[in-house]
Amino acid sequence: MAKMEVKTSLLDDMIGVGDMVLLEPLNEDSFINNLKKRFDHNEVYTYIGSVVISINPYRSLPIYTPEKVEEYRNRNFYELSPHIFALSDEAYRSLRDQDKDQCILITGESGAGKTEASKLVMSYVAAVCGKGAEVNQVKEQLLQSNPVLEAFGNAKTVRNDNSSRFGKYMDIEFDFKGDPLGGVISNYLLEKSRVVKQPRGERNFHIFYQILSGASEEFLCKLKLERDFSRYNYLGLDSAKVNGVDDASNFRTVRNAMQIVGFMDHETQSVFEVVAAVLKLGNIEFKPESRANGLDESKIKDKNELKEICELTGIDQSVLERAFSFRTVEAKQEKVSTTLNVAQAYYARDALAKNLYSRLFSWLVTRINESIKAQTKVRKKVMGVLDIYGFEIFENADNSFEQFIINYCNEKLQQIFIELTLKEEQEEYIREGIEWTNIEYFNNAIICDLIENNQTGILAMLDEECLRPGTVTDDTFLEKLNQVCATHQHFESRMSKCSRFLNDTSLPHSCFRIQHYAGKVMYQVEGFVDKNNDLLYRDLSQAMWKANHSLIKALFPEGNPAKINLKRPPTAGSQFKASVATLMKNLQTKNPNYIRCIKPNDKKAAHIFNDALVCHQIRYLGLLENVRVRRAGYAFRQAYEPCLERYKMLCKQTWPHWRGPARAGVEVLFDELGIPEEEFSFGRSKIFIRNPRTLFKLEDLRKQRLEDLATLIEKIYRGWKCRTRFLLMKKSQIVIASWVRRHAQQKRYQKIKSSAIVVQSYIRGWKARKLLRELKHLKRCNEAATIIAAYWHGTQARRELKRLKEEARRKHAVAVIWAYWLGLKVRREYRKYFRANAGRKIYEFTLQRLMQKYFLEMKKKMPSLSPIDKNWPARPYLFLDSTHKELKRIFHLWRCKKYRDQFTDQQKLIYEEKLEASELFKDKKALYPASVGQPFQGAYLEISENPKYKKLKDAVDEKIIIAEVVNKINRANGKATSRIFLLTKNNVLLADQKNGTIKSEVPLGDVTKVSMSSQNDGFFAVHLKEGSEAATKGDFLLSSDHLIEMATKLYRTTLSQTKQKLNIEISDEFLVQFKQDKVCVKFIQGSQKNGNIPTCKRKNNRLLEVAVP
Ligand SMILES: Nc1ncnc2c1ncn2[C@@H]1O[C@H](COP(=O)(O)OP(=O)(O)O)[C@@H](O)[C@H]1O
Ligand SMILES: [Mg+2]
């Protein structure tokens, strides 16, 4: 959101100019200076229109972080400072949104940063395109194909520690949403000569060093390799180690990458076996051996290495040995076998090694393609990334066939660059409806023609020479060139037209020179024919095909005797020409994006900018021309909206808002600014500005205007700020003032109030004190008066008292004197009448008098006659204590007697019985106190009245003393049955309660003892005399509600009848005779679960337990 609001532009904070098109003046010096200035400020990217120039910084810059990716994501190309991400984003978005297939063409010299650039593009696209598990796997596989190919196809060269020795074009395929689906990689001409020989200071392909440093001992042993680099002839010794490169860790990275890309374990194994075999091939050496026929023949010096190779690759040792010694030429069904001399044998060995390695490389590419190819058949959008080896020129005419091929390829790329850039430019003018004027520029088509023309091209002639029968050498090829191309403007040789009459001595004999678009290159013709032929003896390919190693077998399909093909395989040159042609066709269908890499110095060093070197590259890359072409029509163009947005502040009508269409706004703006009409042109969607000066003028005006605007904004802001501050202060001041006033008033009021209170209190105090003083005075006066009066009265009283006392003393004295006088007189007179015991008599009289008084008083205070009245008057004199108590006792006895005298005979009897009961049970049986209040009724059952008991009544003719229902306890189980208990004068009877049938009759003489507990229960046992008639059934255990009465009556009746005291035993444990057995009846304190009723339980044969609550 914020991003949208802050409009930025390439033109902001620019160091030098970000887009060379705007360079003014435009010449080589200013161009280089601009690059240098930017390079010194770490700005390694600069635009020419939509082309990105990238200068290799040779050190890592912090401009490839994920934050940077986010910054460039979905932004306009010219919105931020130049960056390879801006180009990648533009390409990706136009692929995704406008459905245009893209290609990204990265060119530049070796070491200029092409491969790095291609990786940056891929990683940017990977970062911004779709996400998800499947997509991520595709991305990962695409990215991980790089380390694998780099290990096998890159090497350290003098120019670059990680120089790609093959051309690579990778199509990344996307679906309609822009999610990656897969990819296809094409490889171009691996520099295979490096396998057998490397120039000074260079290395073989990385993978050899990586295996030897990184593989485990075990793995090396399996591959029959030793860790020591110096053991291998193919590894140049002088620069086996590269600074800052860890071969061992890279080896792990490569293996890991192979796994991610999808190599099976056995495939990886096979690949490394082939690499090992190549390495070991270099150690096979030959020695000459003369044969009888005089021809030289070679022999393998030490067969051990050969044996190991054969073991590793599953080749029959004799077959391979023969292939190194003989060559079979087949012509028209005839086989001719010739021996090889030592040189030929070495040639054959190296050819085999090169072929093995380059075919392995191609196989790797095919295998990777298999893994990363898109799995769907739907239409795909394609983004191609081309990272091809750069233009290479060696000094001292060291350029050979490889350089020729590489430079040809670059020539073609330049061609397509020219075509597409111009075409694009032209198309834009047409699209925008601007008139197009033709521009002069150098078209290198003529050079391409020199090389690739089917009849007269150098490649065609080389092929012709290779196929020609007869002796063919590199010199004959050069001769031919001289004949055919002599007249060509861009071809030079010692014999060429321009020097027909004067040999060009700057050219050695065996060389020719081509004036490439990037400069003149002198090629050494030696080896051209051979390399073009790319000959591998058939015996060797057949030997390989026979290998018991599936990968090697697959690498040499032409070795299959069944598929023998006598036709020559296409030459290297023609193969390359064809593949370049296909590539060009492919590129032409896509929207091109250019990254032109420039190398700032030859030392691979950071911070060094070699002007001459850069100048050379700029020249041959035609960058200046590129700018000129771009500026030929109009130097700058911009869509109307951003243009109006950027410059609208320059004109009153458009500032701050323009309501109409953007184009009209721009028209008004330009009109107002008075820009000459020839300086700009209105396209359909863009404004075209012819001269950068105009743009810079606009920029200057804008900058100035921005300053003015800034000042204006600042002014208004400051005014606003001050005003708001003032208003705030004013408001605050009022508030503060009101508070202060209020506070002051409050304080003043408080002061007055407190003063008033003080004054008031003083006055009140003064008044009060005055009153108090008066009152006090009054009081004192009163007191004084009282005191005076009191003193006065006192004085009077004391005087009176004194007088009275005096008077009394005198009277008393008179009386005493009188009494003494009288006593004396009486004593003198009555002494003869007084007896000696008069004192005692007086005492007795006094005593009598007191006694009399006591009794008289007692009479008045006598208590009631009720025997239970406890009142008794208090004792008046201590000496009467015992009398008083005695009197109380006598009185009680007397009133009891009085009470008893009222009783009838019957009542007397009842009380006798009660007395008896008291003697028997008081303090012995807990049941007793409850029985005191109950009258003894005896006959509870009206036997005579109830007709039911008539029979019973008839059977008993004596007087019935007790008739009551009791419970008889069953001897067996302790259960109770009701019985009528009758006591007569002579007998005890038990009868059935229902009908009165007599159950038992015991004469009183046979009752020996009655037993009962001391507790609060009604159980009792009637013990019978042993041997008596009644005792046969045993003693009775009964329970009754009137136990005390029954026991008392039984006792009294027995006593009166038999004159014997009945034994009554009170104990909580007694024995009862039941038939033969004696059973112990035990009373225990039981629970209250049955209420207040005691329960009886038979515990065992000898124990009956009664639980009493
Ligand atoms: N953008 C970059 N940032 C940092 N170092 C770079 C960058 N581009 C290239 N280099 C350095 O330059 C070396 C050569 O780059 P490379 O891409 O292999 O060159 P080329 O493929 O053009 O031969 C790399 O190994 C790296 O050290
Ligand atoms: Mg490279």
Q: At 192, list the tokens.
A: 């295979």
Using the predicted structure, report yes or no on whether residue 3 has a pLDDT greater than 60.
no
Which residue, among 291, 287, 289, 286, has the nearest Cα to 306 in the 3D structure? 286
- Which atom of ligand 1 is found nearest the CA of 118? 17
CA dist 457 and 511 (Å) reads 17
Check residue 1 and give its pLDDT.
31
Contact 1044, 925 (CB under 8 A): yes
The residues, any chain, with a CB within 8 Å of residue 7's CB and separated by 6 or more, are: 79, 642, 645, 646
Ligand found nearest the CA of 245: 1
Cis before 25? omega within 30:
yes
Quick one: which ligand is closest to 160's CA? 1
Predicted pLDDT of residue 121? 95
Q: Which amino acid is at 105?
A: L
Q: Which H or E run contains 965?
A: strand 960-969
- The minimum-distance atom of ligand 1 relative to the CA of 110 is 23
- What digits encode the pLDDT tens for the residues 361-389? 999 999 999 999 988 888 889 999 999 87
- CA of 388 from ligand 2 middle (Å) equals 7
Q: Which atom of ligand 1 is nearest to the CA of 108?
A: 22
Which residue did the predictor score with more confidence, 848 or 1104?
848
User: Residue 503 above 60 pLDDT?
Assistant: no
Looking at residue 600, its pLDDT comes to: 94
Cβ of residue 597 lying under 6 Å from some atom of ligand 1: yes
**Which segments within 609-742 are labelled E, that is strand?**
636-639, 680-682, 686-689
pLDDT at 836 over 70: no
Q: Is 588 helix (H, G, I), strand (E, B) or coil?
A: helix
The type of residue at 345 is A
Least confident stretch, 288-297, 448-457, 977-986 = 288-297
CA atoms of 1105 and 1109, how far apart (whole Å): 13
154 lines ligand 1 (CB under 6 A): no
pLDDT of residue 902: 86
Q: What is the pLDDT of residues 784-808, one digit of tens each?
A: 888 888 888 888 888 888 899 999 9
Res. 865 pLDDT band, cuts 50 70 90: confident
The pLDDT score that the predictor gives to residue 6 is 46
User: Which has the closest alpha carbon to 623: 705, 518, 506, 721?
Assistant: 518
Phi then psi dihedrals of residue 298, to 5 deg: -105, 155
Average pLDDT score over residue span 701-724: 89
pLDDT at 518 over 80: no
**How close is the Cα of 138 to the center of ligand 2, in Å?**
23
The candidate with the shortest Cα–Cα distance to 86, out of 37, 138, 42, 46, is 46
Q: Give the span between the Cα atoms of 669 and 638, in whole angstroms.
A: 15
For residue 397, the model assigns a pLDDT of 63
Q: Which of 951, 980, 995 is nearest to 1046 (CA)?
A: 980
> What is the mean pLDDT of the segment spanning 316-326?
89
Proximal ligand: closest to the CA of 109? 1
Of 416-425, 814-823, 840-849, the one with minimum mean pLDDT is 416-425
Does pLDDT of 624 surpass 90?
A: no
CB 381 within 8 A of CB 173: yes
Please write down the HEC assignment for all residues of 913-931: HHHHHHHHHCCCCCCHHHH
What is the distance between the alpha carbons of residues 319 and 304, in angstroms, rounded to a whole number?
15
Buried b vs exposed e over 307-321: b needs ≥16 C-beta within 10 Å? ebbbebbebeeebbb
Residue of the nearest CA to atom 14 in ligand 1?
A: 111
Range 793-800, long-range pairs (CB < 8 A, 24+ positions): none
Rounded Cα distance between 1018 and 1043, Å, is 6
pLDDT per residue as tens digits for the range 888-922: 999 999 988 888 888 888 888 888 888 888 888 88
CB 111 within 8 A of CB 58: no
CA distances from 549 to 282, 314, 318 (A): 20, 6, 16
Residues paired with residue 163 on neighbouring β-strands, in sequence order:
155
Mean pLDDT, all residues of the chain: 86
* pLDDT tens, residue by residue, 88-123: 998 998 898 888 899 999 988 888 999 999 999 999
**Per-residue DSSP letter, 281:** H
399 ligand 1 Cβ < 6 A: no
> What residues act catalytically?
110-111, 115, 160, 163-164, 390, 392
Mean pLDDT of all residues in 1057-1079: 84
Regarding the beta carbon of 163 and ligand 1, being less than 6 Å apart is answered yes
Q: Is the peptide bond before 929 cis (omega within 30 degrees of 0)?
A: no
More confident residue, 856 or 391: 856
Cβ–ligand 1 contact at 60 (below 6 Å)? yes
Residue 162 in contact with ligand 1 by CB distance below 6 A:
yes
Query: What tokens appear for 1098 in the block?
Result: 């038979």
The Å distance, Cα 117 to ligand 1 centre, comes to: 8
Half-sphere exposure of 680 (CA within 13 A, CB side): 26
Test site for ligand 1: of 64, 104, 109, 160, most ligand atoms within 8 A of the Cβ: 160
Q: How far does the centroid of ligand 2 lie from the alpha carbon of residue 240, in Å?
A: 20
3-state secondary structure of 103: strand
Q: Which residues contact 728 (CB under 8 A, 6 or more apart)?
A: none
For residue 823, count other CB atoms closer than 10 A to its CB.
Answer: 10
| Nearest partner of 1068 among 1095, 1105, 1022, 1040, judged by Cα | 1105
Predicted confidence at residue 5, as pLDDT, reads 39
Predicted confidence at residue 59, as pLDDT, reads 92
pLDDT tens digits, 144-170:
999 999 999 999 988 888 999 999 999
Residue 552: which pLDDT band, with cuts at 50, 70 and 90?
very high
Tell me the CA distances in angstroms from 782 to 769, 772, 787, 974, one per residue in order. Answer: 19, 15, 8, 104
**Helix intervals (H) in 831-880:** 838-860
Are 388 and 413 contacting, i.e. CB atoms less than 8 angstroms apart? yes
Residue 1109 half-sphere exposure toward CB, CA atoms < 13 A: 9
Structure tokens of 812?
């008393």
Q: How far is the CA of 146 from the centre of ligand 2 (A)?
A: 11
Exposure string over 962-985, b if 16+ CB within 10 A, otherwise e: bbbebbbbebeebeeeebbbbbbe
Q: Which tokens hold the place of 909?
A: 């009897």
Where do runs of H (alpha helix) occur along 62-172?
66-72, 84-98, 114-128, 133-153
Alpha-carbon torsion 930, 931, 932, 933, what sign? positive
Q: Is the pLDDT of residue 698 over 70?
A: yes
Say which residue the tokens 């070699």 belong to.
610
User: Residue 769's pLDDT band (boundaries 50, 70, 90)?
Assistant: very high
pLDDT surpassing 80 at residue 676: yes
| Residue 522 phi, psi dihedral angles, 5° rounding | -100, 125
CA 959 to chain centre: 111
Using the predicted structure, report yes or no on whether residue 2 has a pLDDT greater than 50: no
Per-residue confidence (pLDDT) for residue 292, from 0 to 100: 66
Is the beta carbon of 160 within 6 A of some atom in ligand 1?
A: yes
- Decide: 112 in ligand 1 pocket, CB within 6 A: yes
For the segment 23-51, the average pLDDT, to the nearest whole number, is 91
